Structure 1
Amino acid sequence: MNSQNHLKPVASHIAGKRKNAVDLVRQMHLKVIEASHKEDKRQFVQEPSGQFFLAELEIISFKSDLATLEVPIFSLTTKKDMKLWKWSSSDGQKTVEVAPGFYGRATIHDKDVLIYCISHLVHRKNIGGQINRTVRFTAHNFFMTMRSGTRKDNYVRLKKTLDRLKGTQIKTSESLNEKLKLGKGFGLIEEWQILEKSAPDLRKMLVSVTLSDWLFHQVVNTKVLTIHPDYFLLRKPLERRLYEIARKHVGNQGAWKMKIDGLRSKCGSSQSRINEFRAGLECIRAADNIPDYRFLIKDGYVHFYSKDTNKLLKSTKKIVDN
């Protein structure tokens, strides 16, 4: 009995050593896994200097390119859109044709990826940093920044978004003078890549997006506008498009108007009946969810105006003075 009591400290010591050894092996195993992930990330992001921009910082302000604010490149439907879409300016000098890829035409919600990339590039450019067409980021950071949540299905949808952005092709034609016309063809993004584990920790999914030359030149030439962060809380595609149009044309001047039929075309609406489009506008007007701007429909026109009283008063004063 005494012998057994004497051996208890020894057994306890051995058990403690064994536990420490097991814990050490577990820690080493975790370090190997973490090192493996870091190596994968290193291989994914290490390229010759200046080949890409790693978006790690929080976006200070969101930016959209001017071209897609002006012209309805993106589909407003939530279903797969396989229609060839065409648009012409009121003077007939410019035409735009948007062709869907195999996965359908890019939607206005897909545009969030482009806004995210453009916003980071503009911020980097403004602080004097070097930029190029490729932006890399974690999917988790993208979802948190764009306020869309980190549900598992969002990661699946992100891949479909990238497919649509890659597949959508644009053709433009512009009259340079009476004898010359310039035509161009391009996409929204040139390439995308995703790095993930076979049994993924979705928070560590790495994404690489290479913008098209056309879109990157918008950034280089500062052809961008700041957009309100609550834009991303707008779930209806038409709400988003109306905000874009108001942001582009009302801006800081206070007010702007357009004929309702012209607005339907500018929105890129697929509704063939003007009454259906008008009914949709009235629902959005009543909800009053669009940040910074409101609108009303009167005498065949849609009148957009700023929610900022000072800007609206300045606009009214200009009209009276003129």
Structure 2
Amino acid sequence: MNNQRGKGPQQIGDLLGGSLGASLEKLKAGIDAKQQKRIEAAARPGESKEQVAARLRDEDARADRERNASSPVKSPPPSPSIRKPPTGDEQPDFFVPSLYDVGTKDSRSIMDVAVFRLSKKDKRAGGVIRYELSDGYVEVKAGPDGMASVWDYDLVLMMVSHLTEAMNRYREGRGEKPGRTYRPHVSDILKFCRRGDGGRQADEVEGALDRLKGTTIKNVRERPSANGRRPMREVEAEGLVSSYKVLSYTENGKIASVEIEAPKWLYREVTEGKRPDVLTVHPDYFLIDPGIGRFVYRLARRAAGKGEAKWAFQTIYERSGSAGTFKEFRRILRNIIEANDLPEYELREEAGQGGPLLVMIYRDRADEALPPPSGV
């Protein structure tokens, strides 16, 4: 093939040579002959050969566009927000509920701001999130082990649920008032949080407790004074757990049980007053995979309850404490809306004066309260 260089443009058959080149030349000649017959058959009076060929090309292009329009390429379905439950996730049929059968509760006071990170990758060690509120602010500060994640917070939900159930028994005269410490087995924690009961998951419990202890919540509020003059400024700061210690290990060195001390502010919310300020959380909450999806569910549970609520995308982004861009946050949020598989709540996007709105509505009344999606 080297002796063909320097001769300028050549036919591919000349370069390939032999029987393959001859076959290609024959194929090309057949195509040319077929096209020539088509031009002759489609010619109109007064048209040149070139004009007929140009008209046929335009007609072919128009036919392709119409064919593509009638059969559009389907976009892939949205990624699901709910992961599959682990093997052996079924609850045992006991008359007396064990610790992980207690209905999941969450503190209302911090359900509409994220006191944790939503990302699995960025640990945000030493990071700070600050939320400005109408009567003060909430500040989340991370320690050297990293900021507690929304998945680490499952252990706090378990703690709140345990305290709530114990207080219910106490008020009914069926037990003593609970203290600030409780001692769950690690297998109970993993079962409650609907995670697999493996060695890696057991090791992750200790890491989660390190981050929960090292993540401090600073709550600053201004309250009206008794004499109506200068408002009182209240400041309180404490970790998501006050302390913990490992009580026992298995024979192969894995954590078997732990002791966790609830922070004072959380203990006070659950145990003081006749109606503790807690809300029940659906058990499928623990199967929500995206961190933003978990935050949206918590927000819906707090704001919509058994009804509906609307929040601006921008406000949700600000309340989520997300370290990503608003553009990426919107993309993930819209994927969650399209999947629409969060427990209990129907999600829709709606246009607002200041930007897109997220409509959250309790599923039992979604059909009667929401208009059909656009385009239906």
Task: Please report the TM-score for the alignment, with normalisation by the length of structure 1.
Answer: 0.74
Answer yes or no: is 1:138 the counterpart of 2:185: yes
In structure 2, C-alpha distance between the alignment counterparts of 1:145 and 1:264, rounded to whole Å = 29
Of all paired residues, the percent bearing the same amino acid is 27
In structure 1, C-alpha distance between the alignment counterparts of 2:205 and 2:332, rounded to whole Å = 28
In structure 2, C-alpha distance between the alignment counterparts of 1:141 and 1:255, rounded to whole Å = 34
Give secondary structure in 2 for the equivalent of 1:205: strand
| Counterpart residue number, 2:32 | none
Contact 1:66–1:218 under 8 Å retained in 2: no
2:358 equivalent among 302, 306, 321: 302
Answer yes or no: is 1:149 the counterpart of 2:196: yes
Q: For structure 1, list consecutive stretches of 5 or more residues without a partner in the other structure.
A: 1-54, 317-322
Letter in 2 for 1:255: E
Q: CA deviation at 1:160?
A: 0.4
In structure 2, C-alpha distance between the alignment counterparts of 1:88 and 1:109, rounded to whole Å = 24
In structure 1, C-alpha distance between the alignment counterparts of 2:196 and 2:361, rounded to whole Å = 31
In structure 2, C-alpha distance between the alignment counterparts of 1:304 and 1:59, rounded to whole Å = 28
Letter in 2 for 1:122: T
Answer yes or no: is 1:226 the counterpart of 2:243: no
| Counterpart residue number, 1:276 | 328
Q: Write out aligned runs for 1:187-266 (5 A).
A: 187-197=239-249, 199-200=251-252, 202=254, 205-221=256-272, 222-252=276-306, 254-266=307-319
Q: CA deviation at 1:173?
A: 1.3
Answer yes or no: is 1:71 the counterpart of 2:113: yes
Q: Write out aligned runs for 1:69-148 (5 A).
A: 69-79=111-121, 80-82=123-125, 83-89=127-133, 91=134, 93-128=135-170, 129=175, 130-148=177-195
User: What CA deviation, in whole Å up to 9, does each residue of 1:163-183 have, x standing for no partner?
Assistant: 001111121211213543222
Task: Please report the TM-score for the alignment, with normalisation by the length of structure 2.
Answer: 0.64
Give secondary structure in 2 for the equivalent of 1:291: coil
Higher share in helix: 1
In structure 2, C-alpha distance between the alignment counterparts of 1:143 and 1:244, rounded to whole Å = 21
Give secondary structure in 1 for the equivalent of 2:243: strand
User: What CA deviation, in whole Å up to 9, does each residue of 1:69-105 have, x standing for no partner?
Assistant: 122101111121122111112x3x2201111011011
Q: How many residues align?
A: 255
Bigger Rg, which one = 2
Q: CA deviation at 1:239?
A: 0.7
User: What CA deviation, in whole Å up to 9, does each residue of 1:237-291 have, x standing for no partner?
Assistant: 1111000000000001x2110121111112222223x332211111111222210
Change beyond 3 A, Cα 1:57–1:98: closer
User: What CA deviation, in whole Å up to 9, does each residue of 1:163-222 have, x standing for no partner?
Assistant: 0011111212112135432222211111101123474374x7011100110111121131
User: What CA deviation, in whole Å up to 9, does each residue of 1:3-44 have, x standing for no partner?
Assistant: xxxxxxxxxxxxxxxxxxxxxxxxxxxxxxxxxxxxxxxxxx
| Counterpart residue number, 1:19 | none
Change beyond 3 A, Cα 1:220–1:287: same
Change beyond 3 A, Cα 1:155–1:180: same
How large is the Cα RMSD of the aligned pairs? Answer: 2.0
Letter in 2 for 1:113: L
In structure 2, C-alpha distance between the alignment counterparts of 1:279 and 1:117, rounded to whole Å = 33
Change beyond 3 A, Cα 1:312–1:141: same
Give secondary structure in 2 for the equivalent of 1:137: coil
Give secondary structure in 2 for the equivalent of 1:81: coil
Change beyond 3 A, Cα 1:60–1:102: same
Change beyond 3 A, Cα 1:197–1:60: closer
In structure 2, C-alpha distance between the alignment counterparts of 1:122 and 1:250, rounded to whole Å = 22
Q: CA deviation at 1:302?
A: 1.3
Contact 1:62–1:228 under 8 Å retained in 2: yes
